[in-house]
Amino acid sequence: MKFVKSSLCLALLSGLSFNAIADVDVYGKANVTVQSSDDGEGSFTEIKSNASRFGLKGSEKITDGLEAVYKFEFQVDVTDADSKGDDDNISARNQYVGLKGAFGQVVIGRNDTALKQSQGKLDLFNDLEGDIKNVFKGENRLGNSVSYSSNSYEGFKVLATFIAEDDVDADNGYSMAVTYGDVALKKSAVYASIAADSEVNGYDVVRASIQGKVEGFTLGAMYQTQEKVDGSAEADGYLLNAAYSMGNNTFKVQYQDMDFDDSDDKSAISVGLDHKLNKNIKVFGFYSSFDMDNNVDQDYVGLGMEYKF
């Protein structure tokens, strides 16, 4: 989406009546790092915008027990766009409209798949170089989709995604998950899930995840099997991580490993430190290293700041 087109959309939104926008929740975050990156061809310095974003979301009551919901979220690259707006510095994230009630929530549009949602907050280096999407398949946010999320029953929830084929030569995709607990680990000491993709973005995936708190530590683990829909590129792998908070500081480490049948194995280790300045602002540092069997190794060192609003 071009910046000019996005600006036009925002201008149209701003033209809505006060009553229509009074309950809109405007939110977002800016996450920027200065880092030294070595992609195997040499080291260089870069400034990166790590999935910085802004969004609008809200709901409107229809009847007792039924309401309409919506979300329009955009990713903003705050580092690469030039002064003329020629770069695609704004792109779509989750954007949908739907209904919410005693049955749960159903939304139509672009959304994270059930399998992607099932990881909760397991990924300690989400949006950075050590993001699990760089090792594991299944981190999909897709359009042409219908997403369902049940209400919680004794801590259990069901998630489901249907992705329309949208082409005569394509196949419909399906993503399912069952979760237990609170992803923020505030209402429960453990969060766990099991999920599967069938013909989603070219892959079949099965994933099991768990995260919990033990004596001041937050520990997480994930196991996954994956293969292309034609049966090739079979692989299985796991993730282990730990975080420990001391005052305003959080120390964290994460290891990922994926073994392929064709020996094109891939592993990654990341270590980091977050320091909270207040509830919404933190500064952080990280180091991530990737070991590729059939490709060049990669190393990243970065310092950054995140501001949520």
d(CA 207, CA 122): 13
Token representation of residue 232 = 């090739």
Nearest to 207 by CA among 120, 288, 124, 128: 120
Query: Locate tokens 């990341």: which residue?
Result: 270
Q: Please give the backbone phi and psi of residue 284, each rounded to the nearest 5 degrees, phi first.
A: -155, 160
pTM: 0.89
Its CATH architecture, for the domain 3-308, is Beta Barrel (2.40)
Q: How far is CA 114 from the centre of its chain?
A: 11
d(CA 262, CA 239): 20
Contact of 293 with 37, CB cutoff 8 Å: no
> Residues 184, 94, 127, 86: is their CA dihedral positive or negative?
negative
> Where are the domains positioned within the chain?
3-308
Contacts of 107 (CB under 8 A, 6+ apart): 69, 71, 96, 97, 98, 99, 146, 147
Which pLDDT tens digits describe the chain residue by residue (309 residues)? Answer: 443 344 434 444 444 443 444 478 999 999 999 999 998 778 999 999 999 999 999 999 999 999 999 999 999 999 875 555 556 789 999 999 999 999 999 999 999 999 999 999 999 999 999 999 999 999 999 999 999 999 999 999 999 999 998 876 778 999 999 999 999 999 999 999 999 999 999 999 999 999 999 988 999 999 999 999 999 999 999 999 999 999 999 999 999 999 998 767 899 999 999 999 999 999 999 999 999 766 678 999 999 999 999
